[in-house]
Amino acid sequence: MTDYVSRREFLTLLGVSGGTAAAILAGTALGLLPGGAAAATLDLQMAGTEQRRIAILGGGLSGLTVAYELSKRGYDCTILEASHRCGGRIFTVRNGDLIDEIGNRQYCDFDDEPHMYFNAGAARIPSTHRNILAYCKKLNVELEIFVNENKTSYVQDKSMLGGQRIRNIEYTTHMKGFMAELMAKALDQEDLNAPFSESEAETLLGMIRSFGDLSEDDLYRGSLRAGYATGGFLEHGVQKEIIAFRDLLKTPLGRVLISANEGDTGPMLLQPKGGMDKIVEGFLAQVGDKVKYRAMVASVKVGENGVDITYDQDGVRHPLQADYCFNCIPTHLITGINNNFPAEYVSALKYVRRGEAYKAAFQAKRRFWEEEDIYGGISWMNTPSLQIWYPSHGIHQDKGVVLGAYDYGGGMYHTRMTQQQRIEAHLSDGEKLHPGYGQLVEKPITVAWHRMNHMLGCSARWRRSFSRGWSYEEETHYKTLQQPVNGRHYLIGDQMTMHSAWQESAILSAYWAMADFNQRIPVTQA
């Protein structure tokens, strides 16, 4: 393995080519694929005359979901949001926005145009995530296709071909060709081939040949699928030079490329037009009046008949009394709030760790990637910056915002640097993919989720080891936190699922909690 990607990180890379660091390996990152659950139905009764007061701690997506659904049913909801904005890790950065990293506050200076935004947190909605999609529809959030894998984009590793960038399609075409050759050989060995009838073997061989574009002798000798060197329209297309199998094996990125778009990024991906926070706007159009901003929770005391909360706002401590409380504050921040939770609940809260995802973005002075036939998608570098994302929207506009680094592997690599050092590192990495990069991009921003004010971490990481399933200890803690304290205090958010880092998870956790809550409240009259 080469410098930056260790074997362990490699597993991570592989599992999370979709970008969620929490859902990894053998049973990898996964969407709720069809045949699984349908969109959840929420069969909640209307509020009665009592027990109407709902406190929602945190204005993340799960909190907004609860506020929306319960307000609609007559409950009196209050959202306490510690920061200046709702949405949590749904965070779209535009001109003038504050990036509130502790020790590194930045204001975004992108041009003030609708397509000039950066989704610094949630950026993709798998088509199988039915509940978030259902809210998009209900809240009139317009959607468009998001491009994730793009075979026209680049791959670069200093260990491969002297660091020369190649197109993803060159890598994958050749790798598939050599793989097909290997399969054809195996099929030719009678002992390996035992279970197949002659006709099955023939069918399979046909598929293998198609898969790899093999020559007639079942060897791989390159393929026009990897692109023309010249010609192809007015004259014959000339095949590009083949890349040796041995060279392809030199980059650990190969694993990612050859199994791209599995799990959550296997289905089509979508994004709201204009930025992911159009979803937050959609919710706030309904429940915006319930939110108290810059309201930091100071204490949560769960009683037999309700929950007593205090919070600080504008330098003043306020009380908030509620009948029920839904809490999506990150577990590792809850542990610092005065509480009377049972000991095993507190232990469980302390158990959950956090990811340390890091993203950077630049404004591009012109859409240089489109000049190279790239429309959306990801280029891969075996450097700490790891990825460049090109926007799926704003095609053929003058400028655009590119993601210049995405370190979801959980390193503190970039956050040990100054802002200037981070930027220089991304410029230097990007230069290997796009010569002249330093002149093509400007107005950098960086978002280190584990240093963001009121966050101090990215998504929940329940599991200590990604090479096994959930341990008994992990399951026990998870189940402890899923149950409400005294039937009054619910922990919600993507942190309360086995599939963190997705908006769908946040909604499903809220649904679980509201369904449980609904069974506890007195039955109201029809």
User: What residues from 38 to 57 belong to the interface with a copy of itself (CB under 8 A)?
Assistant: none
User: Rounded to whole angstroms, how far apart are CA atoms 172 and 168?
Assistant: 6
User: Rounded to whole angstroms, how far apart are CA atoms 209 and 268?
Assistant: 27
The reply to whether 263 sits near a copy of itself by the rule CB under 8 A is: yes
> Which two tokens mark 511?
């649904």
What string marks each residue from 369 to 408 as x (binds a copy of itself by CB under 8 A) or -?
-x-xxxxxx--------------x--xx------------
What string marks each residue from 69 to 108 as x (binds a copy of itself by CB under 8 A) or -?
----------------------------------------
Q: With respect to a copy of itself, which residue has the nearer C-beta, 145 or 285?
A: 145
Q: With respect to a copy of itself, which residue has the nearer C-beta, 139 or 445?
A: 139
Q: Which of 459, 465, 461 is nearest to 503 (CA)?
A: 459
Hey, what amino acid is at 239? Q
Q: With respect to a copy of itself, which residue has the nearer C-beta, 311 or 490?
A: 490
The reply to whether 219 sits near a copy of itself by the rule CB under 8 A is: no
* 3-class state of residue 359 by DSSP: strand
Least separation in angstroms between CB 343 and a copy of itself: 24
The reply to whether 512 sits near a copy of itself by the rule CB under 8 A is: yes
Q: With respect to a copy of itself, which residue has the nearer C-beta, 327 or 446?
A: 327
Least separation in angstroms between CB 146 and a copy of itself: 8
The full length of the chain comes to 526
Residues 102-131 that bind a copy of itself (CB under 8 A): 127-128, 130
Q: With respect to a copy of itself, which residue has the nearer C-beta, 130 or 332?
A: 130
Helix (H) or strand (E) holding 443: strand 441-448
For tokens 């956050």, the residue is 415
* 3-class state of residue 216 by DSSP: coil
188, 205, 236, 352, 423 from 182: Cα distances, Å: 10, 11, 30, 44, 43
Least separation in angstroms between CB 263 and a copy of itself: 6
Given a contact cutoff of 8 angstroms between Cβ atoms, the answer to whether 507 and 37 are in contact is no
CA 525 to chain centre: 43
> Which two tokens mark 276?
């992911």
Position among 229, 436, 439, 471 found at the interface with a copy of itself (CB under 8 A): 229
User: Rounded to whole angstroms, how far apart are CA atoms 377 and 385?
Assistant: 16
User: Rounded to whole angstroms, how far apart are CA atoms 377 and 513?
Assistant: 36
CA angle 136, 137, 138 (to 5 degrees): 95
The reply to whether 276 sits near a copy of itself by the rule CB under 8 A is: no
Q: Which stretch binds a copy of itself (CB under 8 A): 32-40, 47-55, 274-282, 426-434?
A: 32-40
Least separation in angstroms between CB 337 and a copy of itself: 25
Position among 20, 28, 459, 480 found at the interface with a copy of itself (CB under 8 A): 28
Q: Which of 37, 10, 4 is nearest to 157 (CA)?
A: 4
Position among 44, 258, 298, 456 found at the interface with a copy of itself (CB under 8 A): 258
Position among 16, 57, 90, 147 found at the interface with a copy of itself (CB under 8 A): 147
Q: With respect to a copy of itself, which residue has the nearer C-beta, 106 or 261?
A: 261
